[in-house]
Amino acid sequence: MTTELLIENKSSGKIWECSNSVTTISLETQRTGAPAKLTFTIIKSGDLSFTEGDVVRFSVEGQLQFYGWVFTKSKDRWGVIEVTCYDRLRYLKANASYGFYGQTVGQIIQQIAEDLQVDTGAISDTGYAIPSLYEEDQSCLDIIQSAVQQTLLNTGNIYVFYDDGNGLALQQPADMMSNVLIGENSLLLDYTYKTDIDAQTYNSVKLARPNEETGHADVVIAQDSATIGQWGLLQLYQTVDGDVNTAQMEAQAAASLKYYNRRLRTLSVSSLGVPGLRAGMMVLMKVPGLGDISLDQYVLLEKVSHTWQNDVHTMDFETMAI
């Protein structure tokens, strides 16, 4: 396994290839709400000199794994340096206030990226214009994730917002499928299988829209009597903007019910590492006799953590609902 860790000092323009000086490298990605995080332990040697804001590029077998910037570093008396780097999504933690009307997630990303002077990569057109989205004094990352969530609840389509190495990107998981199989006799080391209706399961969706004329909220409800009889009433209550009409409310309630009205099946997996696998991608898993099911399907990755140490690459990941 050939790894390459490049550190570029912006002030001098000098670049160091540090893979031989690094003892441990870890890379963590999450599907929503967080930038990619690269941490590594490096032994100070030669004229190596870098500081916060310098560029870090990490590759395995010539394949880019991470591109980002140094944010924290600490050194002990023996010259061992602990470094933490993030990709472009880290810059979206800046707070702002925005009002968007009739714009898609992609258009919202482009506007925020332009305002923050952040590059953009491959951004898919969702085909869905959000009627209105107003956020005050929120992080730009949360604002974009809110737009992604609104698109999901109104269309049923999942989109992944991430840094593709060239800039801020938006893709569907179906366009980020891995060609690797993970399962019995194929990379799998251990797993924990969990089922629940506790965290993100709802069989009744109630949407309320303020009505200034009547002084009362207009309400739309979508629910499933069969699962209510089995699980009891698990209600999701949300308010919508006054610009959203009744037909749009009904469509959003139906799409939300379809998404949330299920028992969650999730996997936490330890396996041998697959370079390039990140949260938001889909990977084929085959695990017979998993529990109430025999798994033989693509799963969506919610969180992925890679570790490279002593020429051994392992990873842990969590799936979205199976």
* CATH number of the structural domain spanning residue 105: 3.55.50.10
Quick one: pLDDT at residue 126?
96
Tens digits of residue pLDDT in 97-141 = 999 999 999 999 999 999 999 999 999 999 999 988 999 999 999
Residues 190 and 62 in one domain: no
Quick one: pLDDT at residue 207?
95
Quick one: pLDDT at residue 291?
78
* CATH number of the structural domain spanning residue 51: 2.30.300.10
Residues 191 and 289 in one domain: yes
Residues 8 and 96 in one domain: no
Rounded Cα distance between 208 and 239, Å, is 5
* CATH number of the structural domain spanning residue 282: 2.40.30.150
When divided into structural domains, the chain yields a total of 4
Instruction: Supply φ then ψ for residue 132, to 5 degrees.
Output: -160, 145
Residues 191 and 231 in one domain: no
Residues 313 and 182 in one domain: yes
Give the end of a domain, one of 65, 86, 107.
86
According to DSSP, the β-strands at 160-163 and 168-171 are antiparallel
Domain with 221, as residue range(s), is 204-260
Quick one: pLDDT at residue 197?
94
Residues 144 and 120 in one domain: yes
Give the end of a domain, one of 86, 107, 141.
86
Rounded Cα distance between 41 and 153, Å, is 42
Residues 112 and 161 in one domain: yes
The residue with tokens 């009433």 is 233
According to DSSP, the β-strands at 282-287 and 177-183 are parallel
Residues 111 and 141 in one domain: yes
Residues 111 and 44 in one domain: no
pLDDT tens, position by position, for the chain (322 residues)? 789 999 999 999 999 999 888 989 999 999 998 999 999 999 888 888 999 999 999 999 999 999 999 999 999 988 899 999 999 999 999 999 999 999 999 999 999 999 999 999 999 999 999 988 999 999 999 999 999 999 998 888 999 999 999 999 999 999 999 999 999 889 999 999 999 999 889 999 999 998 877 878 899 999 999 999 999 999 999 988 877 889 989 998 998 999 899 998 889 999 999 999 999 999 999 999 887 888 999 999 999 999 999 889 999 999 988 8
Residues 182 and 282 in one domain: yes
pTM of the model: 0.87
Q: Of 245, 210, 315, which is closest to residue 273 (Cα–Cα)?
A: 315
Residues 313 and 181 in one domain: yes
The residue with tokens 């060609």 is 179
Quick one: pLDDT at residue 40?
96
Q: Of 206, 295, 288, which is closest to residue 253 (Cα–Cα)?
A: 206
Residues 190 and 267 in one domain: yes
